Amino acid sequence: MNRKIHSYSFLKFIDFRQRVIICALFFMLITSILLSTKIGAFSIDLFEIISKSASPLEEMVLLEIRIPRILLSCFVGASLGLSGASLQGLFRNPLADPGLIGVSAGAALGAALTIVVGSDFTIYTALEKYMIPISAVLGSVCIILLLYVSTMGFSQKGIAYMLLIGIAVNAFATVGIAFLTFISSDLELRSLSFWIMGSFGGSEWITILPGIIIISFAILWMIVSSRELDILQLGESEASRLGVDVKKLKFKVIISSAVIVGVSVSLSGMISFVGLIVPHIVRLLGGVNHNFLLVGSAIAGGILMSVADLGSRTLIQPAEIPIGLITSALGAPIFLWLILRSVRK
């Protein structure tokens, strides 16, 4: 007789050490947000803001430029870290990454098409702020549908080929983006190159709020699956005997990951390695318990992305380094280390 899995309770399934780590990570996140708020090409005195003695220019920079950018970086980092941890648990593969299933590539190709081809249409001028994010989300939706059909509705037999399908999608998207880069004008090429490498520079309330709301719901929906992901590590047959609806769990994790990755890419561009390295760091800190791992990966992803964004806009002021370059520089050596570690085992 199957035993029903009880509803999610975060504190119930983590020990004291993991609670301390979560609190420490949360404190680091708040610290990184405060530092990002203060430091930049235009320095802002937080005490003046609190005491309401700041100049109108300082208030404008803080409320209209810096806070939207910081919020977006934290939410994107949290979504990528969480989706990486979830997919690694679902595939039971520590090298799984949100980008490997092809959703990021589909979003990137959709955005690239709009940047290069969309300027020929009058609707682009009328909805310029929304066209690139909408196109990126549509690109990710197309990949989700392709994955659903190719894996026979995320069946047990088809799920084994999902990473291979993702590799093929990534290759196809790379060819498409390369062709669009080749035919683009100088202005389009600059916009395309900067967007593909990732940036939070264009963050505005009007564009990021819908994305943040979608990401928040998807993150919460995924976190409540953490207990089931723990049980899945015993194997699909054993998980089914213990009351886990494995097919429903796969659908929930894959769709949630695809949605938050697609929305994140639509708002910030391509950002690599966050979903790969963050879960490993959190796992080393506190263990493989998914109740701890998912929440910890979300917080740690926000920390990494806010710090990386701070570096991207301050290292070579007044210019800005694409955020994807910083995360790739950090992630590539760690990825190599993980591969070598797996080979030795």
The domain spanning residue 286 has which CATH number? 1.10.3470.10
Secondary structure letter of residue 61 according to DSSP: I
Q: Is residue 4 part of a domain?
A: no
Q: Is residue 82 part of a domain?
A: yes
32 burial via Cβ count (<10 Å: 0-12, 13-18, 19+) = buried
Given a contact cutoff of 8 angstroms between Cβ atoms, the answer to whether 184 and 192 are in contact is yes
Q: Is residue 255 part of a domain?
A: yes
Owning domain of residue 317: 11-344
pLDDT score for 125: 52
Please count the structural domains in the chain. Answer: 1
Given a contact cutoff of 8 angstroms between Cβ atoms, the answer to whether 107 and 243 are in contact is no
Q: How far apart are CA 79 and CA 107, in angstroms?
A: 15
- Planar angle of CA 42, 43, 45, nearest 5 degrees: 140
φ, ψ of residue 149 to 5 degrees: the values are -70, -45
- Radius of gyration of the chain from its Cα atoms, rounded to whole angstroms: 20
Q: Is residue 288 part of a domain?
A: yes
Ranges of the chain whose pLDDT falls below 70: 1-13, 119-129, 153-160, 342, 345
Q: Is residue 2 part of a domain?
A: no
pLDDT score for 71: 94
